[in-house]
Amino acid sequence: MLTVRVGKTKMSRRQNFRKRALLCTLVLVPVVLFITVIQQKYINPFTASSEGSDMSSQTSKTSSKPSAGSCGLQRDCPEDHFSFVILSGAANVMAPKICVKKKLVLGTVLNNAGFGINIVILSGKTGDVIKSGHFDMYGGDVKPLIEFLKSIEKGSVVLMASYDDPSTKLNEEARKLIAELGSSVVQSLGFRDNWVFVGGKGATVKSNFEKYLKNDREKNKYDNWPELIELQGCIPKYLE
For residue 197, report the phi and psi dihedrals to the nearest 5 degrees: -155, 145
Query: Cα separation of 196 and 163, whole Å?
Result: 10
Last residue of a domain, one of 29, 44, 62: 62
Strand, coil or helix: 233: strand
Count of structural domains within the chain: 2
Together in a domain, 79 and 198? yes
Q: Residue 8: how many CB atoms within 10 A of its CB?
A: 10
Q: How many residues does the chain have?
A: 240
Residues 10 and 107 in one domain: no
Tens-digit pLDDT profile for residues 22-59: 666 665 656 555 555 444 443 333 222 223 333 222 32
Residues 201 and 105 in one domain: yes
Same domain, 33 and 73: no
One-letter identity of residue 56: S
pLDDT tens digits along 117-135: 999 999 999 999 999 999 9
For residue 194, pLDDT beyond 90: yes
